[in-house]
Amino acid sequence: MVGRPKSPDYVIFFAIIGLLGFGIVMVYSASAVSAYVNYNDSYYFLKRQIIWAVLGILAMLLTMNIDYHAWRNLAKPIMLVTLLLLVLVLVPGLGKVVNGARRWLGFGSLYLQPSEIAKLCMVLFTANRLALTQDKIGSFMKGVAPQLAILLVVFGLILKEPDLGTALVIGGTVFILLFAAGAKLAHLGSLGAVGVLGIVGLIIAEPYRLKRLLAFSDPWADPLNSGYHIIQSLYAIGSGGLFGVGLGRSREKFLYLPEPHTDFIFAILGEELGFIGTATVLILFFLFAWRGFKIAISAPDIYGSLLAAGITSMIVLQALMNIAVVTASMPVTGIPLPFLSFGGSALIFTMAGVGILLNVSRYVSWK
């Protein structure tokens, strides 16, 4: 028995609202120039982001008030639908190609990104399966291997889009869930070693990934091509100093830094609001991570614990990867910053995940 629901964790709630507020302001600031050039409307991306933010908040409030145990019965059907969508997005004529990647399904003027659904769905599905097979987690073949099988299918489908960044977030989240469920360290260590070798192989197999890796090691070797993103991002962050050049006064957003309102929005944030702005965002993410993992530790049952750990890990891993790319701490891979980057599917499903986490928090008895 988990008892009657109480108030949700307000630290997480207000941390997310704070990040969402930063996102709306920075999406407008970072996108105004490119929006005017491409759409003759400086508010083009802002208006859409506000709509997505409202829908995201509604999704969060909805899932926050649904008993998290209800997702156990829905985990398998949602997983099947997600797999179908991941297959459909690869079908020519159905999947929309943008910048050489086939990641979206179009429905009229609306577009859906199945990989964003897959991130949350994999947490729901894996948490449920691990909770059901808790007594077998010590066995690799009976406890770990079945989870890896579905992971490899999802990983492979997303990799075909191609979207290595999202695939890595999902893989890392499942790895953390296996650890949280009690998998043997020897099994996890072996999986980690195989995973690293696999990533190296994927990088070598694709010329553009290899170029990004070489650019990461020395971006100045090819400053106008493979090293361009990293150099412009570092210019933006370095120009910000302590207090920034001022909100709306970024120079890099004048078509120097590619994707300033999506993958590289943290660089524009650093340029305009400086160390103070970036530190504030990092603190908000830290508060989210702290409370999220505390909920996971204090949850009333193993399913709630795994669910909270998975959702928290999913969001924190993605944020760390995005910031690492922007600060040249890892090779460039296209992945948005949760709650801040422009995007509809990503924001709505991430907010829905936060709502599920908040619902778990309603059943926690804080000491």
Quickly state the pLDDT bin for 367 (edges 50, 70, 90).
very low
Entry pTM? 0.94
pLDDT, tens digit, 9 for 90 and up, residues 136-148: 998 888 888 999 9
Angle at 302 (CA atoms; ends 152, 193), nearest 5 degrees: 35
Q: Extract the tokens encoding 229.
A: 């993103």
321, 169 contact by CB (below 8 A): yes
97 backbone dihedrals φ, ψ, rounded to 5° = -95, 125
340 backbone dihedrals φ, ψ, rounded to 5° = -105, -40
Q: Extract the tokens encoding 10.
A: 């307000």
40: left (phi over 0), alpha (psi -120 to 50) or beta: left
123, 310 contact by CB (below 8 A): yes
pLDDT, tens digit, 9 for 90 and up, residues 146-180: 999 999 999 999 988 888 889 999 999 999 999 99
pLDDT, tens digit, 9 for 90 and up, residues 210-264: 777 767 777 887 777 777 888 899 999 999 999 999 999 999 999 888 889 999 9
pLDDT, tens digit, 9 for 90 and up, residues 1-51: 566 788 999 999 999 999 999 999 999 999 999 999 999 999 999 999 999
d(CA 87, CA 154): 10
99: left (phi over 0), alpha (psi -120 to 50) or beta: left
Q: In 3D, which of 108, 26, 90 has the Cα closest to residue 336?
A: 26
Q: In 3D, which of 366, 355, 364, 363 has the Cα closest to residue 65?
A: 355
Q: Parse the chain into domains and list their residue ranges.
A: 10-361
